[in-house]
Structure 1
Amino acid sequence: MADIRLLLTDKEIARLPRPRKGSYLARDTELKGFFVVVGKRKRTFTVQGDLREDGKRATSIRVAIGDVKELSTRTARATAKEYLAQISRGQHPKAGSKPSRVAASGDSPTAHQSGGITLRQAWERYRDAHMIRKGRSERTIESYRDHVERIFIKWLDTPLEDLGRHPGKVVERHDEITKENGPYIANGSMRTLRAIYSHARKANKTLPSDNPVGAIDWNGEKRRDTGMGPGDLRAWFSELSALDNPIRREFHLFTLLSGCRPTALQETTPGNIDFKRRILHIPKPKGGAKRAFDIPLSREMIRCLIRVMRFGHQMHPSHARQWIFPADSVSGHIVEQKEDRATLSKWGNDLRQSFRTIAAAAGVSEFDAKLLMNHAIPGVNAGYITRPKLEDHLRRQQQAISSTVFAALNANSPSIRRWPKSTNSQLLNPRAHVIADDIRGQQGLKSAIAE
């Protein structure tokens, strides 16, 4: 079968036909050198580029990124960009491969050979063998990449052994980052360095056993206390109703009602909703696919989803087929959740904290609140909990939280029909359920709203 060209996405890759024999390439139209090798039984993200020496082509190489069953296209594309950049500098992306004959600017090849594994090589191994293989989220991988390639950019080609034998360098860098970027970023970047060093030492026993990050004095960190209680909600709803974009309004409202991490909500699809069971499936929460869970839906949450689906089909008809919260973005869904604090005082993690606070006010136990928020349950008892058996119980707790949220508005009905730009007196409307007829083909939809 002849090679083809298309914009690679998870959906398009799933549609690729299986070859009768051999394999073929599905090349990406957006990133040159990035493609999927499609075989009878396996499909592999791959990059191809020319290693150069003295500005001339030395050899062309192909490097596998990973199986399409284990990686999302977005993660693979980000990795491909990094691999291609390394190839263009004359460096083979795969750690343990033949050493590059061309050193990057400022590199010292002899130092690399004598000093062992560098931070750059250790990071690539940690990313591929630990983070990607274990299904870490794209946002987590990007956070680590930012620490390594921005905060520690001057150390990328420094042998880890040098840092291990001179921990004072790490202490000085932590102090510098604290002054330049703040205490939280300084601590976070050092946690990244600590993890990479510990992982590298498993295969490089010549590295000093003491992790150099252990020498720093950590900056004090205080949990951000930005959640709202029931008494704060009326003013917040007034701010929310003034937002122009109805999809963003519903996104913030659903974040409050669910307590879910906004980054996980951004990538939910209509197929993740089961109105019959009254759940929203979160396939890729923090911690990766192995932490996937179902959010039980209250009546108010169901109405919120119905409204945003209707708005989505009106405003972004093509993207709305794929995403619950569509937007005019490259990905097709909401990416940037931030709002001007002067316009909307609470958003993002503020609403997650608010959910936890309101859950306590609603009389929901700490244990149930952790299950609703997909928090890890400490102790051996966590392994004995079967979440699907608790769906009805957790849904009642969810309903108690939603009812407490809307009771704080001093309104007779807890249902939002529309979001006016001016007056708040029209914010609530008891006939919100009529918009259910705008969404067809969802089994159990009307009964879910009525319950």
Structure 2
Amino acid sequence: MTDIRLSLTDKTIAQLPTPKEGWYLARDTELKGFFVVIGKRRRTFTVQGDLRRGGKRASSIRVSIGDSSEMSTRAARATAKEYLAQISRGRHPKDDKQAEGAHPVPATAIGRTVSSITLRQAWERYLDAHLIRKSRSEKTIEGYRDHVERIFAEWLDNPLHELATDPARVAKKHDQVTKENGPYMANGSMRTLRAIYNHARKTNRSLPSDNPADAVDWNEEERRNTGMGSADLKGWFAQLATLDNPVRREFHLFTLLSGSRPAALQEAKLEHIDFRRRTLHIPKPKGGKRKAFDIPLSRQMVLCLVRTTRFGRHMYPVQAQKWVFPADSASGHLAETKEDRAVLSKWGNDLRQTFRTIATSAGVSEVDAKLLMNHAIPGVNAGYITRHKLLEDHLRRQQQAISSAVFAALNGSMTLEGSLQDWLGRGRSRFGTQSAPPAKKV
């Protein structure tokens, strides 16, 4: 969405539409430099102004004030005025950094100020200058935020210099998080701390060069092996056929056949489907727009999209005008893809791992499987592979081989299992959806 201008109040902010992806700015018409960053999950009061040196503009800075759910617009505007006044005097509101041309500060004091940047300040700068500027997804940002504001909550107002000069404290924290939250959360939170510290040191050279996270004894992380083999597919299909919601049923099947991340498929739109070229475009996968790609469609995948489109038009006629997998949710598309494992044993990332396993058994090379899943390909020579040149012919054949292997694993179940026959039997892509039940779960 494009940025807008309006008089910011608690009411007008609450009424602003939530973006489908990314974020936009709602600028205040009363106070220049005061605005709200509107994201999918948060609405953050922010101020922007020009730091000046020697009477000339040196740099433009943004400073977060607070979340609109935690403070009123009136309070945020008052804080914004105070911050703008400090910026106009050559000071950064968060760390009292003083620009040249303002009142002189002794060198020793400057050293103390620079070194005293807190974790909270470093996080806010990393958020604005790195995550938001590089268009990282809301899900990615929320992951970082959880690490900083929950795991490291007691450190938020501590200077980074203290953490850097007390690495044993950081190592002890890693041990504590490992016990309380598990090895993956402990490692992930420390990777976040390492990234924030490295970013802060770019502009605070007095910080020690040794990153405090280097003191950590990292936990071993084993790839979760939850995928299925060919022998497991028959039972899984029987479970899938019993799901009440046919749109969810097709979603899980398409996740298996494509090996794609569920989050990307949830936001697939009808305009992204090209039946003539037999592709589904994914405009903003993990890694952002620069990693956009097309999924080549096998015959079974095309039929899956046809079925879900027809089911969607019957069950969610309004939402189905836009979304491939519509639902009665705030966004209009499937908002939650988890299932009760007592009903459906495998979903989500389990199906991506299954895709890789079946690809190997179908004779698809590792490079081709990675290309189909939009994974990075290691090695120098792989950098010269032009994906779209392979798409029209080679990759589609590999995709078809994988889909054929999936359905071959059913071994006659299509005729023996009544639920599978009703769902996937001959002519099922053409039957009407008048009997499709309304969905309870979105």
If the length of structure 1 is used for normalisation, what is the TM-score? Answer: 0.76
Q: Alpha-carbon deviations, 1:295-321, whole Å to 9, x = none?
A: 000011111111111111222222222
The code of the aligned residue for 1:164 comes to A
Which residue of structure 2 aligns with residue 156 of structure 1? 156
Q: Which amino acid aligns with 2:138?
A: E
Displacement of 1:152 in angstroms is 1.0
Separation in 1, partners of 2:15, 2:153: 25
Q: Which residue of 1 aligns with 2:388?
A: 388
- Measured after TM superposition, the shift of residue 282 of structure 1 is 0.6
Between stretches 192-201 and 114-123, larger displacement belongs to: 114-123
Residues 437 and 217 (structure 1), Cα distance of their counterparts in 2 relative to 1, 3 Å cut: closer
> Do the aligned partners of 1:115 and 1:162 also contact (CA within 8 Å) in 2?
no
Give the alignment partner of residue 434 of structure 1, picking from 427, 430, 439.
Answer: 430
1:238-267 per-position Cα deviation (integer Å, ceiling 9, x unaligned) = 111111111111111000000001111111
Q: For residues 425 and 304 of structure 1, do their structure 2 counterparts lie closer, same or farther at Cα, with a shift above 3 Å needed? A: closer
Identity of aligned residues (%): 58
* Letter of the structure 1 residue corresponding to residue 6 of structure 2: L
Superposed CA deviations along residues 163-196 of structure 1, whole A, max 9, x for unmatched, are 1111122112111111111111111111111111
Change in CA separation of 1:305 and 1:423 when aligned onto 2, cut-off 3 Å: closer
Of 378-387 and 242-251, the range deviating more from structure 2? 378-387
What residue number does 1:307 align with? 307
Q: 2:398 aligned with 1:397, yes or no? A: yes
Cα 1:119–1:48 shift into 2, 3 Å: farther
Q: Secondary structure at the match of 1:346?
A: coil
What is the distance in 1 between the residues matched to 2:323 and 2:7? 25
Q: Is this contact kept in 1: 2:270–2:322, CA < 8 A?
A: yes
User: By how many angstroms is 1:25 displaced?
Assistant: 3.5
Residue ranges of structure 1 left out of the alignment (5+ in a row): 1-9, 17-22, 37-42, 50-58, 67-72, 102-111, 415-419, 439-451
| Residue in structure 1 matched with residue 238 of structure 2 by the alignment | 238
| Alignment equivalent of 2:6, drawn from 25, 45, 48 | 25
Residues 30 and 280 (structure 1), Cα distance of their counterparts in 2 relative to 1, 3 Å cut: farther
How far apart are the structure 1 equivalents of 2:235 and 2:270? 31
- Confirm or deny that 1:46 pairs with 2:46: no
Q: Distance in 1 between matches of 2:150 and 2:360?
A: 41
Secondary structure of 1:46 counterpart:
strand
SS at the partner of 1:432? coil
Matches of 1:76 and 1:26 in 2, distance apart?
A: 22
Q: Deviations over 1:56-99 (max 9, x none)?
A: xxx96744577xxxxxx635855459744387578669998642
**Superposed displacement of residue 325, structure 1:** 1.2
Q: Is the 8 A contact 2:422 2:428 kept in 1?
A: no
Matched, 1:318 2:312: no
Q: Is contact 1:228–1:353 with CA below 8 Å preserved after alignment?
A: yes
**Aligned equivalent of 1:297:** 297
Instruction: Give the equivalent residue in structure 2 for 1:69.
Output: none
Deviation at 1:359, TM superposition (A): 0.3
Q: CA RMSD in A?
A: 3.5
Q: Which AA in structure 2 matches 1:74?
A: G
SS state of the match for residue 424, structure 2? coil
C-alpha separation in 2, matches of 1:282 and 1:77: 25
Give the structure 2 partner of residue 408 of structure 1: 409
* Contact 1:273-1:281 at 8 Å conserved across structures: yes
2:360 alignment partner in structure 1: 360
Q: 1:197 to 1:47 in 2, by over 3 A?
A: farther
Whether 2:259 is the aligned partner of 1:278: answer no
Match of 2:93 among 99, 114, 132: 99
CA contact 1:35–1:47 (8 Å) conserved in 2: no
User: Contact between 1:28 and 1:34, CA under 8 Å: does it hold in 2?
Assistant: no
Partner Cα separation in structure 2 for residue 63 and residue 34 of structure 1: 18
Instruction: After superposing the two structures, state which structure 1 stretch, 285-294 or 151-160, moved more.
Output: 151-160
Deviations 1:4-42 (A, max 9, x none): xxxxxx4xx5xx9xxxxxx85397997628979xxxxxx
Alpha-carbon deviations, 1:386-408, whole Å to 9, x = none?
21211111011000100000011
Structure 2 counterpart of 1:32, one-letter code: I
Q: What secondary structure does 1:203 align onto? A: coil
Secondary structure of 2:93's counterpart equals coil
Partner of 1:191: 191
Contact 1:28–1:35 at 8 Å: present in 2 too?
no
CA distance in 2, matches of 1:334, 1:313: 14
CA distance in 1 between partners of 2:150 and 2:311 (Å): 39
Q: Which amino acid aligns with 1:393?
A: H
Q: Deviations over 1:201-220 (max 9, x none)?
A: 11110111100000011112
Contact 2:6 2:28 in 1 (8 A): no
Indicate the SS of the match to 1:295. Answer: strand
| TM-score normalised by the chain length of structure 2 | 0.78
Q: Which residue of 1 aligns with 2:256?
A: 256
User: Measured at CA, do residues 237 and 27 of structure 1 come closer, stay the same or move farther in structure 2, by a change above 3 Å?
Assistant: farther
Q: Which residue is 2:39 aligned to?
A: 74
Tell me the distance in 2 between the aligned counterparts of 1:120 and 1:236.
47
Separation in 2, partners of 1:131, 1:223: 26
